[in-house]
Amino acid sequence: MERKKIKCVVWDLDNTLWSGVLSEGDDVKLRDNIKDIFKTLDKRGILMSVASKNNFDDAYKKLEEMGIADYFLYPQINWNPKSEGVKKISEELNLGLDSFAFVDDSPFEREEVLSANENILTIDAADIDKIPDMDCMIPRFITEDTVNRRMMYIADSKRKRDEQEFSGDNTEFLKRLNMRLTISPVTEHDLRRAYELTVRTHQLNSTGYTYSYEELEGFLTSDKHIFRIAQLTDKYGDYGKIGLILVENTDALRIKLLLMSCRVMSRGVGSAILIYLAKLAKKLNKPLFAEFRTTDRNRIMYITYKIMGFDELEDNDGDVLLQYTSEEEREYPDYLEVIES
């Protein structure tokens, strides 16, 4: 099977990013051309982290001295198995391990990581210079969200820390975020990001459909479809374009695709979008249906549909059709300002 595009590269340190072994007192030197590789991957929206057996304070200080520490999200520098470190990084980023690559000079360490998840791409440190030219490292498009991805995750890390330290309930914390959700028609300018969302988003994807760029472009002028993109901001900054909505508009409204970035999983965005669609259906005086295709990762989307008043009409071997049957007049949560444009 063709490998999925890589979303995160996890690096070893000793004899990989740098020559020598730090804990043995070596005067380690940064690998030639590695900064250029970092810049290339960063511009492509590929996140990076570290899984290394070292003393954290010593290793991180060395990364700072080399001017590369800021590239690494949730670095795992300790004496635990590296497979545990890679798994921890994937949990913090909320990204599937099948979109990870792990780079290490040691065949043993690469095998140890691979044995814990056979879908991880392992790369010999001897092949580092080949990484930028690997097909799985080259996105079809580079968008504004792509270029800013690392900074968005850094802002999200700050949100998480503040949320963990907050002593009140979750709703009170959400109110303090000053979140603004904008739902607007997809424009030609948005198409590359819309395509990127369909190929990158699996966990919060109601059907798992992957449309080609050309198919998405066709929906811009279709009088039988409602095509919307959602953007979220809060006091910490911009989450970017984080959601996509495609609705077939005939004698009824039929949600063909509803997806959101995993970074907004706990922000109530899915419920807000469904309220938006329920209001739209009421305005147009049309019933509202939703297609749902069961995958091994999107059950939370099904639960969201059920909570928001959708009932299951049929289930054809995992292809589910739901209908919005709630009589309740639902309003957007008071912690979220929704702008319809």
CA angle 62, 16, 57 (to 5 degrees): 25
- The mean of the pLDDT values for the chain is 93
Q: What is the mean pLDDT of residues 308-329?
A: 93
pLDDT at residue number 1? 43
Arithmetic mean of pLDDT, 217-246:
95
Q: Over the stretch 70-92, which tens digit does the pLDDT of each residue have?
A: 999 999 999 999 999 999 999 99
Judge whether residue 170 has pLDDT over 90.
no
The per-residue pLDDT for 7 is 95
The residues facing 51 across adjacent strands are: 76
Instruction: Return the structure tokens found at 328.
Output: 């309740």
Give yes or no for residue 295 having a pLDDT over 60: yes
- pLDDT value at residue 73: 97
Going by pLDDT thresholds of 50, 70 and 90, the confidence category of residue 148 is very high
When pLDDT is averaged across residues 230-242 and rounded to a whole number, the result is 94
Mean pLDDT of 168-172: 88
Count of other CB atoms within 10 angstroms of residue 103 = 21
Q: In what order do the strands lie in the sheet with 319-324?
A: 310-316, 319-324, 288-293, 253-260, 237-249, 225-234, 179-185, 336-340
Q: Phi and psi of 162, rounded to 5°?
A: -65, -35
Q: Is the pLDDT of residue 285 over 80?
A: yes
Q: Give the per-residue SS3 of 45-99.
A: CCEEEEEEECCHHHHHHHHHHCCCHHHECCCEEECCCHHHHHHHHHHHHCCCHHH
Confidence of residue 341 (pLDDT cuts 50, 70, 90): confident
What pTM, to 2 d.p., does this model score? 0.80
State residue 184's pLDDT score: 97
pLDDT class for 49, splitting at 50, 70, 90? very high
pLDDT, tens digit, for every residue of 2-13? 578 999 999 999
- The pLDDT of 256-262, averaged and rounded, is 90
- At 207, which helix (H) or strand (E)? none
For the chain, give the percent of residues with pLDDT over 90: 81
pLDDT band at 160 (very low <50, low <70, confident <90, very high): confident
pLDDT of the residue at 297 = 78
The whole-number average pLDDT for the span 256-278 is: 90
Which tens digits make up the pLDDT trace of 180-216? 999 999 999 999 999 988 887 766 788 878 889 999 9
Name the one residue in this structure whose structure tokens are 């800021």.
Answer: 70
